[in-house]
Chains A and B, each alone.
Chain A
Amino acid sequence: MRRIWRHLRVPLVALHVVAIGLMATPDPGPGLQRSAWKNPTVQAEIQAWAERLNGFGVEVTPKALEAWAWARAKALHRLRDRLVRPFRPYHDYVGIRQPWNMFVAPHRNPAVLGVDILVDDEWTPLYRTRSDVYDYRRAFFDHDRIRAMLFRYGWPSYRHTYNDFARWLAKQIAVDVPEATKARIFYTRYRTRSPDEVKDGTEVKTVRDQYVIFDLAVFRPEPSP
């Protein structure tokens, strides 16, 4: 039996090695969204690479480079998908995915969540990302899974689920803050400052968007007669 196992083990280990090796090949799939490519961070990357290539004597405009990169990324994604497909059940049922697209690029235009509540006809801040002052459910928001989720919801392609989350959050606020009549949830976007801007004390412009406003009365039980 042991003799058979010694030989049987060779293809099984080989299968594992090939499966994780193929799965670890770079997959542009998660970033293949036109809306995401319009983000200023992505546009700045394309601009930087176009300038660098021009410096090397390769004449290319940012627009042409974007079109080329999009086509290549799609082709690579299709090829990778074909190669990985036979191993998909092994990946899925055993849990050997290899999504190592970590810190692919710094997000130069991050978006952070904010929550205001309406109390006595006046909007008051309830939560600001990483604030020690407006720290509603701070432990919840600081959990790494929630931070990963909120990072994603700052991108337009997640708008639908962001609305689901905002609605859930408004329900929690309706219970936790009985004096509040409305809640507004939004993202604040800004460009991160360069080292020189930090040293000079330059302030950067912030923009708020993805506003969702809820009337909290709908989440509270009707008072019994």
Chain B
Amino acid sequence: MRWYRSLVAYLDERERGEALALFRIFVGLALVVDLGATAPDGVLSAIWIDIHHGGYRPLGFGTFLVQALGGPTPTVIWGLFGATVAAGLAMIVGLGGRFTALIAAQGFLALSGLNGHTRGSYDALLSNLLWLNVLANGTATWSLDAKLFTGRWSTDRLVTSWPRRLGILQLVLLYFSTGLHKISAHWTPAGGFSALYYILQQPSWHRVDMAWAAYVYPLTQLGTAITWAFEVGAPILLFMLWRERRRGRRNNYRRWFALVGVLLHTGIFVFMEVGPFTVIIWSLYLCLFTPDEVRRLFDATVYLSPAEGRSCSSA
């Protein structure tokens, strides 16, 4: 039962709360941005309210929470929208701990699940990250909760590391799964690595007309190959983190992974309109960094002085 004792000890490991606090702030921000964008221009009323009350299609009784509240009527939907956005704002400032994360998670799940035809993968990703915030103690520091309970915005309180590690696992699963789904010949040499070029020609997703990509076609081929290899090779990150832990010294793989991933999503953000996906996935990248690294970055940018005496933790 040595493995079991190791597992118990692994799940009991603790670290300072900065990384999870930053994760909480970004997820709250992503939620507010995502939902906030549906309010103007009549999008929310059209897609999440039943046809009998002004929406464009029948939504039945709606998701279980909407059903419990009385169905997809304007009062219920706008009320739920308000409560969820308020919970998202509370997450940003760090008020209410896991409880506000739970309200945000359930509110978002109820709204985004109402109309499957207007849903994107980013909805599922955001739901997952909200649930991780329910599991994690994200308001131990850099939060209104910390200020209320200790009198300071920043505390040294330790939190369990496993929710952040579940975030890393989620990131790897997302990439690996999406890589396995890419069965089109266009993603492989059989289709000349032309997937990225042709995706950029789809009017549903591009930001501006991308016909000019024809003149840099070899670059799009390289981008296709890198994207596919990065996604399918994502589990290597888990192996390298395990190796890092076993050897007790850092390797640079995690940073290279983050660099390639962030560049990839920056490219997507610049050339394509895929909703709040980029913001949401960037918040998941924060889980790759230890609290010491987050703290060092914070100190370097805010106080312009190095951090001292931080506890050591592994990714």
Chain A interface (Cβ < 8 Å from any Cβ of B): 6-7, 9-10, 13, 16-17, 20-21, 24-26, 45, 48-49, 52, 93-108, 110, 112, 129-130, 137, 139-140, 142-153, 158, 161, 164-165, 167-169, 192-196, 198-199
Contacts and interface: CB of A to CB of B under 8 A. Distances in A.
Interface in B177-198: 177-178, 180-187, 190-191, 194-195, 197-198
B195 A105 contact: yes
A149 B204 CA distance: 10
Contacts, number: 196
A97 B7 contact: no
Contacts of B217: 195
Interface in B118-138: 118-121, 124, 127-128, 130-131, 135
Interface stretch (B20-28, B38-46, B89-97, B291-299): B38-46
A158 B117 contact: yes
A13 B162 contact: yes
Interface in B198-217: 198-199, 201-205, 209, 211, 213-215, 217
B195 A95 contact: no
B154 interface: no
Chain A residues touching B, majority SS: helix
A199 B198 contact: no
B276 to A, nearest CB: 8
A29 to B, nearest CB: 12
A145 B38 contact: yes
A100 B232 CA distance: 13
A10 B8 contact: yes
A195 B205 contact: no
Interface of B: 4, 7-8, 11-12, 37-38, 40-43, 46-47, 51, 55-58, 64, 105-106, 108-109, 115, 117-121, 124, 127-128, 130-131, 135, 162, 166, 169-170, 173-174, 176-178, 180-187, 190-191, 194-195, 197-199, 201-205, 209, 211, 213-215, 217, 273-276
17 contacts: A17-B166, A20-B173, A21-B173, A25-B177, A45-B185, A103-B182, A103-B199, A106-B186, A112-B204, A140-B42, A140-B46, A146-B46, A148-B120, A150-B204, A167-B56, A194-B214, A198-B215
